[in-house]
Chains A and B, each alone.
Chain A
Amino acid sequence: MNGLTFDIAHVLAGSLVLISFMMLYQDRLFALINVFALHAVVLALSVAWQAYIQDAHHLYITAAIALVFKAIVIPVGLHRIIQRLGIHRDIETAVGIGPTMLAGIGLVTLSMVLMLRVTPEADPLAREDLAFALSIILLGLLVMVTRRNAVSQVVGFMSLENGLVLAATGAKGMPLVVEISVAFSILIAFIVIGVFLFRIRERFDSVDIGALDDYRGERR
């Protein structure tokens, strides 16, 4: 593998992490969804690049799935949901932006240290990919944990799944069936969550999950 292909793969994976960071400081729903669409586009590029350098044609399908579903269908769907529900467009964060960013940096450091330590024998590209993928997964979880709004939790969950796809494509020889099934399960999860959003909204006139807690009669 020559230096250029490695560098391009590295840049794409690194920009995924960067975009995950961008999600952390969005405080508007539409902006968050747009960033998520960008995340998916970069993921599709990254997967396509992997398909090219690994000469694995089935990965193009994965890239196409990522592009169609995650960069187009899901963001458009989320836009429409937000418009139809008339959700407040600003996100109430549970933790301030500053501490969240600091925590994110800590998580990326942790995943780097960990992955580079436990995979000394692996091929360098897969190593970097795994480290980045773990960072993306942890950042996605961080998004889910620090937001009070259900839509932004959905977005966090989707970006977490992007990290899984990145890890799967970085490792050579992952069967296509696995990727397709993961992609479809995410789509189904999206549908289910969408339905639930409508139901929650119908009942509580809000998708702030705090309303659920109030309904259960608990303090936050």
Chain B
Amino acid sequence: MNSTVALLLCGPAAFLATAIMAAAASRLAAATRLVYGATLVISAVMLTTAAGHLAGNPGEVSATLPLGLPWTGARFRLDGLSAFFLVVVNLGGTITSLYGLGYGRHESQPHRVLPFYPAFLAGMNLVVLANDAFSFLLSWEFMSLASWALVMAHHRDEANRRAGYIYLVMASFGTMALLLAFGLLAGPAGTYAFDAMRTAHPGPFAAGAVLVLMLLGAGSKAGLVPLHAWLPLAHPAAPSHVSALMSGIMTKVAVYGFVRVVFDLLGEPAWWSGVAVLLIGGVTAVLGILHALMERDLKRLLAYSTIENIGVIFTSLGLALAFKAHGMPSAAALAFTAALFHVLNHSFFKSLLFFGAGAVLSATGERDMEKLGGLIHRLPVTSFVFLIGCVSISALPPFNGFASEWLVFQAILRSPELPQWGLKVIVPAVGGMLALSAALAAACFVKAFGITFLGRARSAAAERAHEVDRWSLAAMAVLAALCLLAGILPGFVIDSLSTVTLPLVGERMPVQMAQPWLSIVPIAESRSSYNGLLVFVFITISASLAAFFIHRFASHALRRGIAWGCGFPDAVPAAQYTAVSFAQPIRRVFGGFAFRSRETVDMPAPGALEPARLKVEMHDVAWETFYQPITGAIDFTTERLNHLQFLTIRRYLTLVFLYLIILLLVLALWP
């Protein structure tokens, strides 16, 4: 057994030991500190080991433990892809544990969170390390169940119970799809080791079925439309640091599962596979961000924005598939690198934003943006780092979101080289959808930041808020710094990803760190290049100069005037711009088809004293089109089958007997 893998397997074991310890000691006062401290140390060790492997590039190493199914054992393997995702998982784990050290103290029921938190981390690590279908599915289910327990941490709330129920149903559905996919990959011989699946190439029909099943299984966990319905319910229901883990990290583990199967185990992709993934990704991106724009709950807004980012990642993966299928490995490497880069970036800024939302929640007790406002005076540090997160996720230079989305668009711009006419049309169309979603994301986070932190406090709780503890601030500051660093040094990340890209798409991006002045050149100097450092320096210098000139040459006289109250007699905070009013123009434009929204104005009769009311009716189209018919059908059949529970013993025997006869008849009459 390789020592690196052994060390990495000790990590999940240590997490599980921590979980058991936490279950035993969770009512102690020091338990919070101990558990998060332990997970912080373990994650940090795992992070350095995985990063060392990724940087050292010693190929792939594997290990087999005598656990699990008899004669099979549990196989684990560390290669570039799993090392990269281990870095993502454990970087998130480390910083979340750091945040938890502070945030966990506000937890009202720590015994419902502490045992499951390390177990959740162990599950995610094991999924990434697993090298056979059995270990993979077992770890996957373990991860799902641990996160379900965390969603149900505050189960007294009716909404949380419903979220937990829907999450459980969707998770089981996803695992069923994965199980079927692995069954198809294992083939009639039933070899569950990934190594055997890699060499056995399934036929075109089976490969297509596996792709569809992976889109269902991994896609439901990642939040692809229309399987996303559980995500905006479940992610915000958990405590905020767990929301960050679920949104920032667990969705990435789902992406890992998809990449592992579709890019690694499945062999050469079919030409249409890229198209399917591309289209689903594009639709997911646009619908996700439109939902986010309509949201007034800060954490749900962030959860919907996760769906948008997953859409971006899957679009990029679809591009990589399309390029790979058409024998364009360098373009595929570009798209694939862009996807992985965005995975890393999204884990940074989404964790940061959820931490910020958690800080706001613990400072004010509010998630509803319409009851916040003016927090920039009360929580100056939180608002600054939250602003960095917003700028990053809106893909503005010089932060990291811009770098990865720019790479995605560079890959899209290579689509004219594709030989197929269908793809030549579809890819730019999806590019247009991505551009739309990027613009909408910017609007969405202007709203999130503006309504929450600017203006005047809309409630007493927001007025009395105090800055959060140092642990939380430190965690957010680290993430903000990482956002900036990844934006300034994209070349470093791209070069580190070359070991991941090379075995999976057969090519890597050109070496970027050799470029002068830290610029990145994805294809050729003549086509495009980007220099984050230059942009950063330019923005810093020009902003400083502007500030200097204003302070130096403008008048220093302080003047206070009465602001124009827009005609309102008393300018109460409720008269401010609200989240819903901010989103109104966009709702007018897109609401018709995306939400089937309708506005009605209740105008009282002339002379009547009651106020006029504007009613907005919105529908979740995915919910009504896909979920309600299914639940309706299930209710209908269970209602019909209910009386089967109350038959006599002889009738049960008769049923079994008749079924046996029918099976034998089928066998006898089969041509």
Contacts and interface: CB of A to CB of B under 8 A. Distances in A.
B648 A220 contact: yes
A213 B665 CA distance: 31
B657 A110 contact: no
Interface string B635-658: 000000000001111100110010
Contacts of A118: 667
Contacts of A94: 650
Interface string B656-671: 0100110011011000
B652 to A, nearest CB: 10
A209 B664 contact: no
A72 interface: no
A212 B667 contact: no
A209 B650 contact: yes
Contacts of A111: 664
Nearest to A134: B664
A145 B657 contact: yes
A117 B665 CA distance: 12
Interface string A162-197: 000000000000000000000000000000000000
A11 B649 CA distance: 36
Contacts of A148: 650
B649 A110 contact: no
Contacts of B665: 110
Nearest to A118: B667
A220 B661 CA distance: 23
A121 interface: no
A55 interface: no
Contacts of A216: 646
Interface string B245-280: 000000000000000000000000000000000000
A78 interface: no
A142 B660 CA distance: 12
Contacts of A71: none
Nearest to B648: A213
Contacts of A130: none
A110 B648 contact: no
A72 B109 CA distance: 67
Nearest to B654: A145
A218 B653 CA distance: 17
Contacts of A53: none
Contact of A218 (B646, B667, B668): B646
A144 B646 contact: no
A114 interface: yes
Contacts of A144: 653, 657
A31 interface: no
Q: Which of A107, A111, A114 has the most CB of B within 10 A?
A: A114
B650 A113 contact: no
Contacts of B647: 218
Contacts of B648: 209-210, 212-213, 218, 220
B231 to A, nearest CB: 44
A118 B663 CA distance: 14
A148 B650 CA distance: 7
Given A144-B653, A148-B650, A113 B660 contact: no
Interface string A114-155: 100110000000000000000000100110110010000000
A212 B668 contact: no
A110 B664 contact: yes
A212 B646 CA distance: 12
A116 B665 CA distance: 14
A33 B653 CA distance: 21
Interface in A34-89: none
Given A141-B657, A141-B660, A145-B657, A114 B649 contact: no
Contact of B653 (A107, A145, A220): A145
Contacts of B660: 138, 141
Nearest to A218: B646
B142 to A, nearest CB: 37
Nearest to B649: A209
A111 B654 CA distance: 18
Interface string B428-442: 000000000000000
A206 to B, nearest CB: 14
B661 to A, nearest CB: 7
A145 B650 contact: yes
A170 to B, nearest CB: 19
A211 B646 CA distance: 15
Nearest to A112: B668
B482 to A, nearest CB: 64
A213 B648 CA distance: 6
Nearest to A111: B664
Contact of B649 (A138, A141, A212): A212
A110 B668 contact: yes
B110 to A, nearest CB: 47
A114 B650 contact: no
Interface string A15-29: 000000000000000
Interface in A198-220: 209-210, 212-213, 216, 218, 220
A113 B647 CA distance: 33
Nearest to A214: B648
Contacts of A209: 648-650
A103 to B, nearest CB: 9
A195 to B, nearest CB: 17
Contacts of A110: 661, 664-665, 668
A218 B646 CA distance: 7
A212 B653 CA distance: 15
A220 B650 CA distance: 10
A142 B664 contact: no
Contacts of B667: 114, 118
A209 B649 CA distance: 8
A218 B650 CA distance: 13
A107 B204 CA distance: 42
A107 B650 contact: no
Given A141-B657, A145-B654, A114 B646 contact: no
A110 B669 CA distance: 10
A142 B657 contact: yes
A107 B658 CA distance: 11
Contacts of A210: 648
A148 B654 CA distance: 12
B661 A107 contact: yes
Contacts of A145: 650, 653-654, 657
Nearest to B652: A145
Contacts of B668: 110, 113-114, 117
Interface string A91-108: 000100000000000010
Nearest to A216: B646
Interface string B119-150: 00000000000000000000000000000000
A176 B66 CA distance: 33
A111 B667 CA distance: 10
Nearest to A94: B650
Nearest to A95: B654
A110 B665 CA distance: 7
A111 B668 CA distance: 9
A212 B652 CA distance: 14
B24 to A, nearest CB: 42
A101 B660 CA distance: 19
Contacts of A212: 648-649
Interface pairs A-B: 10 shortest CB-CB? A114-B668, A213-B648, A145-B654, A141-B657, A113-B668, A145-B657, A145-B653, A218-B646, A114-B664, A144-B653
Given A110-B664, A110-B665, A209-B648, 7 more contacts: A113-B668, A138-B661, A141-B653, A141-B660, A145-B650, A148-B650, A212-B649
16 contacts: A94-B650, A110-B665, A110-B668, A117-B668, A118-B667, A141-B653, A141-B657, A141-B660, A144-B657, A145-B653, A145-B657, A148-B650, A209-B650, A213-B649, A216-B646, A218-B646
